[in-house]
Structure 1
Amino acid sequence: MDTAKKRARIIFHIDMNSFYASVETAHDPELRGKPLAIAGKVEDRRGIVVTSSYEARAQGVRTTMPVWEAKRHCPELIVKTPNFPLYRATSQRLFQLLRSYTPLVQKVSIDEGYMDVTEVASDIHPVQLAKSIQQKVLDTLKVPSSIGIAPNKFLAKMASDMKKPLGITVLRKRDIQSKLWPLAVGEMHGVGSKTEEKLKRIGIHTIGDLAKSDKAYIAERFGLYGEKLYERANGIDHRMVDPEAEETFKSISQSTTLSDDTTSVAVVRKTLMMLAEKIEGRLRKKKVSAYQITLSIRYHDWKNISRGHTVKQPIQTKDDIMGHIMPIFHEHWDGRPIRLLGITVQSFEELGHASKQLDLFSYQSDLKDEPLIQAINQIESKFGEGMIGSAANYKNAHRSRKKDAGHDH
């Protein structure tokens, strides 16, 4: 078929609304209609809100807000700690349901994915199809969603953010100038707070400013990343919905043979820290966190053991890794001289979405001495800003609070 005669693609981006809080409410109907927040270390004054129900948001509760402050805004606020097994099980059911419509489904995070419905929508209007999917998800999982409809992934993602909860938004290329360009550049998918600051310094304040700027100049300042942002601002995105993207890699491993067999815990700790630093770098590069961790030990007599477990909070940093791997070592090492050590992490999830915010819990101590915004910016600086292909990007605390109920995370 001639390329010019090919039908325009129809891409859906489906984004679950206030996913963790909504799943909790679906699991416990007694919570329905009540202000609910999901937060870590709820017994700790420095606990932070990960997400909240729309009833809580209506009373001023915001993502990244300390629990004590959230309760000041909403004294009747119900606070629950995250239940990752329940969230992941619900996510599995969600994507099974989406694949019943089309095999062209790409999961990008626990509660967010793309669907290429070009062929499916040949028999039904895309908006009617979106309504059908949205209702099916609501009936089956009792969880609300928003769906963006567009000719490519970027525009579909932007569209799904425009109306929440239970929104369905169409964003055509002819709508870009009126609907997309007036938005602040920080609202653009793929633009983190650091990039937003850099863009503003060169006079780019809106998506329209970026779209109308000089592509060569943007490329010179931001490299290939800048070129992609320029194209996205002009509605150009040729990425396909890739059902295999989630399975491109299944584990990250690092191991090393020691120069001498050892029974020194100090040597073991130093070696594992070195491996943990390497794994942290690879997790950051692939923009994922992990939920399973395994320690491998080879003894001097070449006998091997592997021991590990699944964790509830995402593993992203060397400190996260060491916090799990040393207890595993102490529990399972039998005292024999060690020849080789290895660490493997797996069960991945894209960074940047709601669960990504949970890594704030490992930085609670930072909040004693620094304002919340500084702590969050430090984390964002450490991990870097997401590229266009990431599920989502960090927002700083100021923007998170400003977006109110229009955003879930």
Structure 2
Amino acid sequence: MLVKRNAGRIILHVDMNSFYASVEVAFNPDLKGKPLAIGGRTEERKGIIVTCSYEARAIGVKAPMPVWQAKRICPELIVIPPNFERYRNASLAMFDLLREYTHLVEPVSIDEGYVDLTEYKTKDPVKIAGTIQTRLLEELSLPSSIGIAPNKFLAKMASDMKKPLGITILRKRELHEKLWPLSVGDMHGVGGKTAEKLHTIGIKTIKDLAEGNDIQLKQLLGINGERLKRRANGIDDRSVDPDSIYDFKSVGNQTTLPKNIINARQIEEALRKLAASVSARLKKKGVMGTRVFITIRYHDRRTITRSRKLDNPIVEADVLYSYAKQLFDKNWDGGAIRLLGITAQDLVEKEEAVKQLDLFSFEKDAKDEPLLHVIEKLNSRYGKGIIKRGMKVGRVVDNTNGTSFNKDFLQE
């Protein structure tokens, strides 16, 4: 359902819990329930803890504690080096899942992002948040906390209020009881040094900041003082920006199969459907992939990920399928499969893609040369983009009315 703009917004902030450690547990379930830390240079005394599981935190381990100190606090602590490729792939899968609900997804970092549900059929955003949280846990084995609010700032604050596996609603009318009593240092956007400065003018809580003197705040923090006061009062007009996909440079899709399969024909059919879906999304965004990535999850939840760098950017479904199938055939061990995924990575704008000619593509490219020359002349004379090979089609939006929950949630 389309919710009218003046009715407000419904924003989710999805924040993965202890992300690196959770990814490692998903990769190796034997680590579940154990004190686990991700640490750099674990063989050296100067190595530090990057992040750790909640079991380790309960004992007193925290980042950026030196590894030797963490081991002294918790002798049974399991410390493993970071695997950033593994974390990046898990992040891509997480954001792909979120985009199944709306294209208005804004990645903020590798393990958190905003989702704008305002313009979509959301009879119960809390139920949708619960579904997202459950799917992240069941399909990716990744726990998360989700904040629901009328803007990005409040959604971010809400997601921090209950961890792990929390879902928190924060309405503007609840600021005085849920937000304002917190220390100003706990506010998103206020770092340690800023908090110290605010303390010098008597601002200790978020309520103090919300009621702070405009002139004092501007003298102390410049324009940021005004911005922080607005946020403390629950005011944040920033939109959720889906263009952040280009920071992550991937478009992918995965499917949990209705049953575990080993049949080659069924596997090929699933891969073809995935390739078609990814191809359609690439074309819609006007981008091409220069790396193909596959995910195979077996019936026992073992998961492998493999990728291949390509010589030329690709976008067509049959080509995506071909490369994905090659990767699959090379890495499948014959076990029953529960989930399959295909992702096109390292994206480039279609207009910017430069194809490397080879013996197999030269003949086709030569045939296209006269047409390309005409397009280049027209663009040169009348402006870039005046004519292209193909066109983008805009998204059709449902224009029905909102629900009672939307009205209750955002009539403030």
Cross-structure match for 1:332? none
Q: State the partner residue of 1:55.
A: 55
Q: Normalising by structure 2, what TM-score?
A: 0.58
* Structure-2 change in CA distance of 1:147 and 1:41 (3 Å): same
1:108-123 matches, cutoff 5 A: 108-120=108-120, 122-123=121-122
Aligned residues: 249
Q: Distance in 2 between matches of 1:219 and 1:148?
A: 30
Matched, 1:87 2:87: yes
Shift of 1:242: 0.6
Check the 8 A contact 2:197/2:220 in 1, yes or no: no
Aligned positions of 1:120-269 closer than 5 A: 120=120, 122-245=121-244, 247=246
Inter-CA distance 148–5: structure 2 relative to 1 (3 Å threshold): closer
CA contact (8 A) 1:134 1:144 kept: yes
Deviation at 1:216, TM superposition (A): 2.9
Letter in 1 for 2:238: R
Look up the equivalent residue of 1:179 and give its one-letter code: K
Aligned to 2:63, what secondary structure does the other structure show?
A: coil
Counterpart CA distance in 2 for 1:246 and 1:223 is 32
CA RMSD of aligned residues (A): 2.0
The reply to whether residue 96 of structure 1 matches residue 96 of structure 2 is yes
Indicate if the aligned counterparts of 1:38 and 1:82 stay in contact, CA closer than 8 A: yes
Counterpart residue identity of residue 31, structure 2: L
**Given the superposition, is the C-alpha separation of residues 131 and 4 from structure 1 closer, same or farther in structure 2, using an over 3 Å criterion?**
closer
Distance 1:47 1:162, change over 3 A: same
Specify the alignment match of 1:14 in structure 2: 14
Q: Provide the rounded CA distance (Å) in 1 between the counterparts of 2:59 and 2:178.
A: 29
The amino acid that maps onto 1:102 is T
Q: Deviations over 1:287-333 (max 9, x none)?
A: xxxxxxxxxxxxxxxxxxxxxxx9xxxxxxxxxxxxxxxxxxxxxxx
Question: In structure 2, what residue type is equivalent to 1:236?
Answer: I
User: Residue 5 of structure 1: CA displacement?
Assistant: 7.3
**How far apart, in 2, do the equivalents of 1:108 and 1:237 lie?**
16
Q: 1-side partners of 2:233 and 2:30: how far apart?
A: 46
2:41 corresponds in structure 1 to 41
Q: CA deviation at 1:246?
A: 5.0
Q: Aligned partners of 1:248, 1:72: CA distance in 2, in Å?
A: 39
Larger radius of gyration: 2
Q: Aligned pair in 2 of structure 1 residues 45, 219: CA closer, same or farther (>3 Å)?
A: same
Equivalent-residue separation in structure 1 for 2:76 and 2:247 (angstroms): 45
CA distance in 2: counterparts of 1:20 and 1:75, whole angstroms: 21
d(CA) in 1 for partners of 2:52 and 2:5?
Answer: 46
What is the deviation of 1:41?
Answer: 0.9
The alpha-carbon deviation at position 59 of structure 1 amounts to: 1.2
SS at match of 2:145: strand
The 1-side partners of 2:106 and 2:5 are apart by: 26
Equivalents in 2 of 1:166, 1:21: separation in Å?
15
- Report the CA distance between 1:220 and its aligned residue: 2.5
Matched-pair contact (CA < 8 Å) for 1:108–1:246: no
Q: Kindly provide the CA deviation profile for residues 256-300 of structure 1, in whole angstroms up to 9, marking residues without a partner as x.
A: xxxxxxxxxxxxxxxxxxxxxxxxxxxxxxxxxxxxxxxxxxxxx
Within-5 A mapping of 1:213-362: 213-245=212-244, 247=246
Q: For the structure 1 residues 43 and 89, does the alpha-carbon distance in structure 2 shift closer, same or farther, using more than 3 Å as the test?
A: same
* Aligned residue number for residue 317 of structure 2: none
Structure 1, unaligned runs of 5 or more: 251-309, 311-346, 348-409
Return the alpha-carbon distance in structure 1 between the equivalents of residues 123 and 4 of structure 2: 23
Counterpart CA distance in 2 for 1:5 and 1:138 is 32
- TM-score with structure 1 length normalisation? 0.59
For structure 2, the residue ranges without an aligned partner over 5 or more in a row are 250-308, 310-345, 347-412
Instruction: For 2:205 and 2:115, locate their aligned partners in 1 and report how far apart those are by CA, in whole Å.
Output: 28
Find the aligned partners of 2:91 and 2:34 in 1 and give their Cα distance: 23
Moved over 4 A (4+): none
Note the C-alpha offset of 1:243. 0.5
The DSSP-based 3-state class of the residue aligned with 2:242 is coil
Decide whether the 8 Å contact of 1:185 with 1:191 is kept in 2: yes
Q: CA deviation at 1:64?
A: 1.1
**Paired residue type of 2:38:** I
Give how far 1:206 is off: 0.7
Q: Distance in 2 between matches of 1:164 and 1:220?
A: 36
Letter of the 1:208 counterpart = K
Cα drift, residue 49 of structure 1: 0.8
Counterpart of 1:244 in structure 2: which amino acid?
A: D
